[in-house]
Amino acid sequence: MSATITPITMPKWGLSMSEGTVVAWLVDEGAEVRSGMPLLEVETDKINNEIEAAEAGILRRKVAQEGALLPVKALLGVLAPAEVGDAEIDAYVAAYVAPATEDDQGGAAADAYQFVDVAGLRVRYAGRGDLRNGVPVLFIHGFGGDLDNWLFNIDAAGEFLPTLALDLPAHGQSAVRLPGATLADLSAFVLAFLDALGVDRVHLVGHSLGGTIAASMARAAAKRVASLTLIASAGLGDEIDADYLGGFVAASSRRELKPVMERLFADASLVSRQLLDDVLRFKRLDGVGAALTDLAAGLFAGGRQSDQPGRGIADSGIPVQVIWGSADRIIPSRHATAAGAAAKVHVLDGAGHMVQMERAREVNALLVEHLRSSA
Amino acid sequence: MARKLSIRQAINEAIDQEMSRDPRVIMMGEDIVGGHGSEGEIDCWGGALGVTKGLYGKYGDRLLDTPLSESAYVGAAIGAAVCGMRPIAELQFIDFMGVCFDQIYNQAAKFRYMFGGKAQTPVVIRAMIGAGFRAAAQHSQMLTPIFTHIPGLKVVCPSNPYDAKGLLIQAIRDNDPVIFGEHKVLYGIEGEVPEASYAIPFGEANIVRDGDDCTIVTYGMMVHRALEAAALLEKEGIDAEVIDLRTLSPLDMDTILESVERTGRLVCVDEASPRCNIATDISAQVVQAAFAALQAPIMMVTPPHVPVPFSPVLEDIYLPDSTKIAAAVRRTLEGKRH
Amino acid sequence: MTSHPLALDPAAILQAYRTMRTIREFEERLHVEFAAGDMPGFVHLYAGEEASAVGIISHLTDADRIASTHRGHGHCIAKGVDVMAMMKEIYGRKGGSCQGKGGSMHIADIDKGMLGANGILGAGAPLACGAALAAKYQGKGAVAINFVGDGASNQGTFLESLNLAAVWNLPIVFVVENNGYAEATSRNYGVAVDSFVDRAAGFGLPGIAVDGTDFFAVHEAAGEVIRRAREGGGPSLMECRMVRFYGHFEGDAQGYRGPGELEDIRANRDCLKHFVAAVTTTGVLGAAALAAVDAEVAALIDRAVIEAKAAPHPVAADLLTDVYVSY
């Protein structure tokens, strides 16, 4: 009977999220909503984001109060068509039992991260879905980032394809050692990572440094790349913000890091204390500072990009999509058009360098569309 | 997600990793191994509370059991530091500094200045601090203000395992003498600790809870009491910010001032005796630097000016707790309209 | 037991003389300059005790470390600390051994193995144990020497250090410079044992007492205990029985001295006079060579005083520097 009732639940953005706070409802009870429309804003210890309507319907009930801190999968509200009676909605809410989360199953969440040795380096990655069941989507993060940069995006792609996201060497929880500080070293390494997992062909989604790695992989092994999505990507032009790179490498305290991290976002308030603490915890690890210094010197010395494999990459026949934020302060959005005439280019107005986090809903829609059309 | 360790294990791992990384790191103290010179088991203690257990098996003579002779071995650690080693001296209980204080405050602390910048003294003096262990007046003191009073010393008091490891690694790598206070009641608490080595820079306080209504500044075990108080207050609609100082010298006044300028209210919680302690120091500095931001008198929550009593009943009354801290926060908010 | 001066290389003998004479000239000049009133603080003079510092330290290299006392100028000069910089330091000037921030009681030069004079009596002993411990780990055969006065040898730090050094078998020599007075109190009052060597026995380490006014006796005895320490044979205690020509500090009227005592020690127990007599009667060195050294040393000390007085004072900004390596 409740088949037509759609629960709105607390999402799990990234593997470490266990709870979130309802910041604000964005629609009123009784309002008609379209699929994909933002319903409410949720804050995690890392970042704020919007929850969208999975289906069209009427917002019949706001179960969660604004300000409430609720676990993942908790019922936040109910969508249903008008013909469903209020009594039925009441009964649904009363009877709702949150499905067990991975965390409830005794540390299963910890297992969601996996490790594999690639060329003598331990690499952390997160896999979702059966890698043999379709061409996987590989997410490659940017300079100083980690696989959690994709926390809002993996699930969207994961709806219909297996996904992989890795921590690059000397990033996240992978070994604090570089396989080399050139772009060729890094792209060869990521290809070797795919070999280690027995994955032949992938859709590549790269952000910033991850984008130029993806483009470089496409140059080196075109047959293994089903499509490219380059987000605020390096490798498409010359300039890159040297102040950001230098500041990020040098910052050793919250106070030093905060203004640097704020350059990544159009909305500086998105840089939470937890985000800064997480980045500092990473940066404090022995060897990280030296590795990032080497990497910045190898790829981006003097604010100039050493390699630009993304220029004209769409001419190779690989389906290419380029997504950028118009307010990107790290790599100028005018580089977006350099991938070639065949590339689909989307510049999201007002978004910053971390466009895939800031504007996850739009980026996800573009990503899904590109993956479907490239399948 | 990540691995959890107790503070005891985190400290052991920090020493282990630094001894493995740097052959200049040596350690000395009373019974840090235990069992020398008799027929029983070697490494039977691994320190009075077992913090260094297992390291002797890995590093052998780089861990030195000492005679009960604090002046001699703390001084020897300092002398070895000036001569190119990176010694860690364990003083068991900080209360024992009375018998070796000259070596700490007249020697280690002053060499660099007194010698015109030519000496460096990379020594770490680890010691158990604090009350709550039913250890009575000579084994329970929080003598941190005595060390912060001395220019030339750095003073560190971690409250959790992540900080304990990172701050101790920093202390060992640091080129100045460091007093590293380990609260004996906290040794067992667990938290996530990366396996890799990392150093937390000194002089950066940690905001352990964000809040807009009142700033609570503290360190060591009192961080936990302050968080409990904040949880109590949250139910009343009061949102307290809790700052864990982590290091007392250097002291991160910037973080304190930024917070107080936002909340307008300050409660300093200090397990040390109330006269001339960390709480009074911070209070004075805040009044001097941010008087206009204060919307209420600064409150201080400390023990009374008495030695630590033995009786568990009395010791529990002696120590600041969440009730007293919460009451102090409420006092700062009296008359404020929410 | 005086070793024959011929047993030493003449160049080494001349160098020993030069160092002893430099200390004497330095201290006697300080005595005069201090009385003139433009030297700040306290000064404790080593004059009369030169044979101890030089007899012992002439066995050492820069890799060997010493921890000294409040009466440390002699140890500094013997260990190779620059005399010009020392003089500036005593005047509290920039360019001094400690940039004017240490003064007479804190002259140190870590690179020379001089871990500091020390204003705290007995404090050097644990530090020297640490230097010896470092030497043991560093494995290059270096040793440490702790100089301590007869008075400060009553400190717990010193006695604890004797035990620690014995227990850890450290390459260290404790030198008790027994000049008969702890400040204004005779060692006969303040020390119950007849000989400091007895104390060594109480801690399980070998001890030896020598006439500290006889350079050659000190040199020979020190050679033996330092060699033993270098070879892993462990710590020793050496007592140098000697005299102090001046008071505890400059300005001390020395009312505690007996009638004629100062005249007697100046006349009969002057280590430099003994030295000169020994080397000239045996013909190792001639009077002319010694006189040349005397002239050279006098000129050096003259220049040191002139330069020190002309050296700039520290400026206000210097007040705040070098408290920490980083803060």
The domain boundary residue, chosen from B134, B158, B192: B192
Contact state of A254 with B204 under an 8 Å Cβ cutoff: yes
> Chain B within 8 Å of C191 (Cβ-Cβ)?
no
Q: Are residues B37 and B177 in the same domain?
A: yes
Q: What mean pLDDT comes out for the span C229-255?
A: 96
Beta strands A6-9; A75-80: pairing state? antiparallel
> Chain A within 8 Å of B200 (Cβ-Cβ)?
yes
Examine residue B117 and state whether it is found in any structural domain, yes or no.
yes
Q: How confident is the model at residue A106 (pLDDT cuts 50, 70, 90)?
A: very low
> Chain A within 8 Å of B198 (Cβ-Cβ)?
yes
- Determine the pLDDT at residue A38: 87
Given a cut of 60, whether residue B337 has pLDDT beyond it is no
> pLDDT tens for residues B219-233?
999 999 999 999 999
> pLDDT tens for residues B263-280?
999 999 999 999 999 999
Q: Are residues B229 and B167 in the same domain?
A: no
Given a cut of 80, whether residue A346 has pLDDT beyond it is yes
Q: Are residues B187 and B214 in the same domain?
A: no
Residues of B with catalytic roles: 139
Contact state of B1 with A253 under an 8 Å Cβ cutoff: no
Please count the residue pairs, one from chain A and one from chain B, whose beta carbons lie less than 8 angstroms apart: 33
Given a cut of 60, whether residue A359 has pLDDT beyond it is yes
| Closest chain A residue to the Cα of B204, Cα to Cα | A253
Hey, what CATH topology would domain A109-374 get?
Answer: Rossmann fold (3.40.50)
Best to test chain C binding among B71, B99, B125, B150 (most C CBs inside 10 Å): B71
Q: Are residues B63 and B186 in the same domain?
A: yes
Given a cut of 90, whether residue A73 has pLDDT beyond it is no
**B78: domain range?**
4-192
Q: Are residues B101 and B28 in the same domain?
A: yes
Place of tokens 């005592």: C261
> pLDDT tens for residues C167-226?
999 999 999 999 999 999 999 999 999 899 999 999 999 999 999 999 999 999 999 999
For a pLDDT cut of 90, what percent of chain C falls above it? 95
DSSP result, A115-130: EEEETTEEEEEEEES-
- Determine the pLDDT at residue A53: 84
Q: pLDDT averaged over chain C?
A: 95
Measured between beta carbons, which residues in chain C are less than 8 angstroms from residue B74? 126
- Determine the pLDDT at residue C238: 98
B contact residues 203-232, partner C, Cβ 8 Å cutoff: 203
> pLDDT tens for residues A251-264?
988 889 999 999 99
Q: pLDDT averaged over chain A?
A: 91
Q: Are residues B154 and B39 in the same domain?
A: yes
| Closest chain C residue to the Cα of B247, Cα to Cα | C327
C-alpha span between B45 and B33 (Å, rounded): 6
> Chain C within 8 Å of B22 (Cβ-Cβ)?
no
> pLDDT tens for residues B236-266?
999 999 999 999 999 999 999 999 999 999 9
Q: What mean pLDDT comes out for the span C15-20?
A: 98
Q: How confident is the model at residue A2 (pLDDT cuts 50, 70, 90)?
A: very low
B contact residues 303-322, partner A, Cβ 8 Å cutoff: none
For a pLDDT cut of 70, what percent of chain A falls above it? 95
Given a cut of 50, whether residue A145 has pLDDT beyond it is yes
Q: What mean pLDDT comes out for the span C54-67?
A: 98
Best to test chain B binding among A147, A285, A288 (most B CBs inside 10 Å): A285
Looking at A160-310, list the stretches that DSSP marks H as alpha helix, in order from N- to C-terminal side: 183-196, 209-220, 242-250, 254-262, 273-284, 288-300
Contact state of C164 with B113 under an 8 Å Cβ cutoff: no
Q: How confident is the model at residue A18 (pLDDT cuts 50, 70, 90)?
A: confident
Contact state of C98 with B111 under an 8 Å Cβ cutoff: no
Given a cut of 80, whether residue A108 has pLDDT beyond it is no
Beta strands A6-9; A121-128: pairing state? unpaired
ipTM of this complex prediction, to 2 decimal places: 0.95
Given a cut of 90, whether residue A105 has pLDDT beyond it is no
Measured between beta carbons, which residues in chain C are less than 8 angstroms from residue B179? none
B125 beta partners: B89, B179
> Chain A within 8 Å of B22 (Cβ-Cβ)?
no
B contact residues 26-55, partner C, Cβ 8 Å cutoff: 26
Q: What mean pLDDT comes out for the span A81-104?
A: 80
B contact residues 233-272, partner C, Cβ 8 Å cutoff: 250
The number of distinct structural domains making up chain B is 2
> pLDDT tens for residues C282-315?
999 999 999 999 999 999 999 999 999 999 999 9
The domain boundary residue, chosen from B163, B192, B221: B192
Rg of chain B, C-alpha, whole Å: 20
Given a cut of 60, whether residue C124 has pLDDT beyond it is yes
Q: What mean pLDDT comes out for the span C113-125?
A: 96
Q: Are residues B151 and B284 in the same domain?
A: no
> pLDDT tens for residues B24-81?
999 999 999 999 999 999 999 999 889 999 999 999 999 999 999 999 999 999 999 9
Helix (H) or strand (E) holding B41: none
Kindly report the backbone phi and psi dihedral angles of residue A128, in degrees, each rounded to the nearest multiple of 5, phi listed first. -140, 130
The domain boundary residue, chosen from B167, B192, B217: B192
Contact state of C133 with B102 under an 8 Å Cβ cutoff: no
Q: How confident is the model at residue A369 (pLDDT cuts 50, 70, 90)?
A: very high
Q: At what angle do helices A288-300 and A209-220 cross, to 10 degrees?
A: 60
Exposed, middle or buried by CB within 10 Å (0-12, 13-18, 19+), for A1?
A: exposed
Q: What mean pLDDT comes out for the span A25-44?
A: 88
- How many angstroms separate the most distant Cα atoms in chain B? 71
Q: Are residues B18 and B97 in the same domain?
A: yes
Given a cut of 50, whether residue A109 has pLDDT beyond it is no
Examine residue B200 and state whether it is found in any structural domain, yes or no.
no
Contact state of C126 with B250 under an 8 Å Cβ cutoff: no
C-alpha span between A110 and A102 (Å, rounded): 9
- Which domains does chain C show, CATH number per domain? 5-180+190-251+261-312 (3.40.50.970)
Q: Do chains B and C touch (3 or more CB pairs under 8 A)?
A: yes
Looking at C97-195, list the stretches that DSSP marks H as alpha helix, in order from N- to C-terminal side: 124-138, 156-168, 187-190
Beta strands B240-244; B206-209: pairing state? antiparallel
- Determine the pLDDT at residue C313: 97
> What is the CB neighbour count within 10 angstroms for residue A151?
24
Q: How confident is the model at residue C5 (pLDDT cuts 50, 70, 90)?
A: low
Examine residue B133 and state whether it is found in any structural domain, yes or no.
yes
Examine residue B268 and state whether it is found in any structural domain, yes or no.
yes
What CATH number corresponds to the domain at position B119? Answer: 3.40.50.970
C contact residues 24-63, partner B, Cβ 8 Å cutoff: none
The conformational region for residue B101 under phi > 0 = left, psi -120 to 50 = alpha, else beta, is alpha
Given a cut of 90, whether residue A45 has pLDDT beyond it is no
Do A58 and A30 meet the contact criterion of CB atoms below 8 Å apart?
Answer: yes
Best to test chain B binding among C82, C97, C120, C127 (most B CBs inside 10 Å): C127
Q: Are residues B235 and B328 in the same domain?
A: yes
Given a cut of 60, whether residue C258 has pLDDT beyond it is yes
Examine residue B59 and state whether it is found in any structural domain, yes or no.
yes
B contact residues 226-255, partner A, Cβ 8 Å cutoff: 254-255
> pLDDT tens for residues A4-14?
888 898 888 77
Chains contacting C (3+ CB pairs below 8 angstroms): B
Distance from CA of B251 to the nearest CA of C (A): 10
C-alpha span between C285 and C301 (Å, rounded): 23
Q: Where are the domains of chain A?
A: 2-100, 109-374
Given a cut of 50, whether residue B315 has pLDDT beyond it is yes
Looking at chain A, list the stretches that DSSP marks H as alpha helix, in order from N- to C-terminal side: 86-95, 108-112, 154-158, 183-196, 209-220, 242-250, 254-262, 273-284, 288-300, 355-358, 360-374
Q: Do chains C and A touch (3 or more CB pairs under 8 A)?
A: no
C-alpha span between B123 and A104 (Å, rounded): 46
Distance from CA of B211 to the nearest CA of A (A): 12
- Determine the pLDDT at residue C4: 64
Measured between beta carbons, which residues in chain B are less than 8 angstroms from residue C163? 67, 69, 72
Examine residue B199 and state whether it is found in any structural domain, yes or no.
no
Hey, what CATH topology would domain A2-100 get?
Answer: OB fold (Dihydrolipoamide Acetyltransferase, E2P) (2.40.50)
Examine residue B151 and state whether it is found in any structural domain, yes or no.
yes
> Chain B within 8 Å of C108 (Cβ-Cβ)?
yes
> What is the CB neighbour count within 10 angstroms for residue A349?
10
Q: What mean pLDDT comes out for the span C125-132?
A: 98
> Chain C within 8 Å of B80 (Cβ-Cβ)?
yes
> What is the CB neighbour count within 10 angstroms for residue A248?
22
